[in-house]
Amino acid sequence: MALVLFASPRNGYTKKLLDAFLDGLCDNYDVRIIDCYKLSPAPCTACGVCERADTCVFSDLDEYNTLLNKAELLVFASPVYNLSMPSPLKAIVDRSQRYFSKRFSLGVMPPIEVYKRAVLLLTCGSSDRSGFDIITKQLSKMFTILNTKLYASVCMPNTDDITDVTPYENEARITAKSL
Ligand SMILES: Cc1cc2nc3c(=O)[nH]c(=O)nc-3n(C[C@H](O)[C@H](O)[C@H](O)COP(=O)(O)O)c2cc1C
């Protein structure tokens, strides 16, 4: 199963990249898409409950967590906002704290059994690629606890001025076909 976290509020450039990726993805993958803005997850409140039991005080990510435990492929499709990811996706990343707690407070290893590969599909308006690097670093930290390895990234900069997105769509399609 492929779990997609779509983190743009718009049907824009990130969606174009994601559509091309899904177009290239083998039919064998059951694709499940989480729209981060529609889900509007609560932020982690550092309540500490997950340090004492394998749970979260909020139930809004229950379906996501069920899918996350089963997925073999994670796809993060996100624009860069202020050199980072948009806040609904950041909330999901912060809420992965429960898996750090599961590993380091509850002693469960690995906290997620199914090994996953991850693909990042990122866009930004300017030519400054540092947002891509920052998001990659943020997600890579989370991957250490999710039994996940970064497989590939497709990054589309300059969307403020871009005239032809085809090369990036092709790159996304080829990346998907290689999985
Ligand atoms: C709130 C906000 C913050 C943004 N911050 C950045 C930024 O730090 N760097 C950048 O290059 N582009 C930035 N952008 C531009 C978006 O990354 C760019 O337009 C992106 O391609 C939008 O993706 P979408 O078409 O899928 O919505 C920002 C846009 C918004 C709305």
Domain residue spans of the chain: 2-177
Q: Which CATH class is domain 2-177?
A: alpha beta
Write out residues with Cβ below 6 Å of ligand 1: 8, 10, 12-15, 79-83, 123-126, 128, 131, 159
| Nearest atom of ligand 1 to the alpha carbon of 123 | 21
What's residue 91's pLDDT?
98
Task: Tell the residue nearest (CA) to atom 20 of ligand 1.
Answer: 124
Q: How confident is the model at residue 155, as a pLDDT?
A: 98
Tell me, what's the pLDDT at 28? 87
Q: CA-CA distance, 101 to 119, in Å (whole number)?
A: 25
Instruction: Pick out the chain residues at pLDDT < 50.
Output: none
Question: Is pTM beyond 0.75 here?
Answer: yes
26-61, pLDDT tens digit by residue?
898 999 999 999 999 999 999 999 999 999 999 999
6, 14, 82, 120: residue to mutate for ligand 1 pocket, most atoms within 8 A of CB: 82
